[in-house]
Amino acid sequence: MSRLIYLNDDYLPLEQAHVSVLDRGFLFGDGVYEVIPAYGGMPFRLKEHLQRLENSLSAIRMEPPLDRHQWLAIFTRLLDQLGDADQQLYLQVTRGAYDKRLHAMPEQVTPTVLVMSNPLSQRDPELVQRGLSVITLEDIRWQRCDIKAITLLANILSQQQAREQGAEEAILVRDGLATEGTASNLFMVKEGLIITPPKSNHLLPGITRDLVLELAMEAGLPCAEATIRVEELEQADEIWITSSTKEVMPVTRLDDRPVANGRPGPMWEKMDALYAACKKRLRQRNQASEQCYE
């Protein structure tokens, strides 16, 4: 029996899950999403992901279709299928199917809600050791990058350009400022200071980004939210990118030139260890079977 996914109040095998061709997600990209990692069967930073989902929904003028307890019940049921394995929950809410293709938001429409869980692919240890290669690209996205919208064409085009140039990610640049990656947030280290761009409409408020800042502060590592000019990035001692699926990845090549000595740096090593410890605490808490929203 294949794994079940959640679609509009139902639990179904993937092959039996269907959405109308009139769905506004399909026709317009009119919807939002979340990717939530789960370790040892426990969603990681659940409260923060659900808060961002509510923010994204409110920004596109939608009410949350489910409350936090209902979300958790769905996640638990889906995660249980793979037990303690590390997983990633994918959650998508679109404005739903309406009987006409109409740009304006219809008044009476039922949202489409999809949740699925898949094994979380482990980071490639070789890549972690070598570090990522990134290129910088002009940010061709819109002015509301703070919304986790399913409309990702600009991200896809930029990611593809990076791949075609032999890199793993593109760092997007707007008005001379490096903001984030196509699917990740950006950090740099300069003279012992960890720096990430401040939140704005030009970047996604990453859950991993916030956690990294939190962990740095707890550990007494100096950190700051400040804009990063491309020229500053070129002079960085270390560059990292972060996301729920990549965690904290070192970047060792920028536009085909080595970052500092071209190897993952000591601050990254510290942060990677802090992040791993945080995941471990969540797993242990699950074993003590305590409900957790970390």
Choose, by CB under 6 A, the member of 38, 208, 268, 282 that binds ligand PDD.
208
- Taking contact as CB under 6 A, which single stretch among the options 61-69, 229-237, 241-249, 264-272 is the one that binds ligand PDD? 241-249
Neighbouring-strand partners of residue 115: 6, 91
Query: Per rule CB under 6 A, is residue 87 in the interface with ligand PDD?
Result: no
Query: Per rule CB under 6 A, is residue 94 in the interface with ligand PDD?
Result: no
From 145, 197, 108, select the one nearest 32 (Cα to Cα). 145
Choose, by CB under 6 A, the member of 111, 206, 250, 265 that binds ligand PDD.
206
Q: Which residues contact 172 (CB under 8 A, 6 or more apart)?
A: 136, 137, 138, 139, 141, 158, 178, 179, 180, 181, 182
Measured at the CA of 185, the angle between CA 112 and CA 46, to 5 degrees, comes to 50
Choose, by CB under 6 A, the member of 56, 87, 159, 244 that binds ligand PDD.
244
Written as six digits, the tokens of 274 are 């802090």
Strand 193-196 with 87-94, pairing: unpaired
How many residues contact ligand PDD, by CB under 6 A? 15
Task: Indicate the residue among 133 and 242 with the shorter CB distance to ligand PDD.
Answer: 242
Query: Per rule CB under 6 A, is residue 183 in the interface with ligand PDD?
Result: yes
Query: Per rule CB under 6 A, is residue 35 in the interface with ligand PDD?
Result: yes
Q: Which of 47, 148, 190, 279 is catalytic?
A: 148
Residues 126-165 within binding reach of ligand PDD (CB under 6 A): 155
Q: Which residues contact 127 (CB under 8 A, 6 or more apart)?
A: 168, 249
In whole angstroms, give the CA distance from residue 182 to residue 37: 19
Task: Indicate the residue among 98 and 169 with the shorter CB distance to ligand PDD.
Answer: 169
Where are the strands (E) in 40-131, listed by range? 42-43, 87-94, 112-119
Task: Indicate the residue among 92 and 98 with the shorter CB distance to ligand PDD.
Answer: 92
Task: Indicate the residue among 109 and 248 with the shorter CB distance to ligand PDD.
Answer: 248
Classify each residue of 85-112 as buried b or exposed e, where b means 16 or more C-beta atoms within 10 Å of its C-beta. Answer: ebbbbbbbbbbbbbeeeeeeeeeebebb
Query: Per rule CB under 6 A, is residue 56 in the interface with ligand PDD?
Result: no
- Taking contact as CB under 6 A, which single stretch among the options 15-23, 111-119, 177-185, 260-268 is the one that binds ligand PDD? 177-185
In whole angstroms, give the CA distance from residue 102 to residue 115: 26
Please state the closest distance from residue 11 (CB atom) to ligand PDD, in A: 23
Written as six digits, the tokens of 34 are 């979340």
Active site residue 246: no
Query: Per rule CB under 6 A, is residue 215 in the interface with ligand PDD?
Result: no
Token look-up 């704005």 returns 200
- Taking contact as CB under 6 A, which single stretch among the options 17-25, 77-85, 113-121, 240-248 is the one that binds ligand PDD? 240-248
Q: Are 138 and 179 in contact (CB under 8 A)?
A: no
- Taking contact as CB under 6 A, which single stretch among the options 97-105, 223-231, 242-250, 256-264 is the one that binds ligand PDD? 242-250
Residues classed as catalytic: 148
List residues near ligand PDD by CB under 6 A: 35, 155, 180, 183-185, 204, 206-209, 242-245
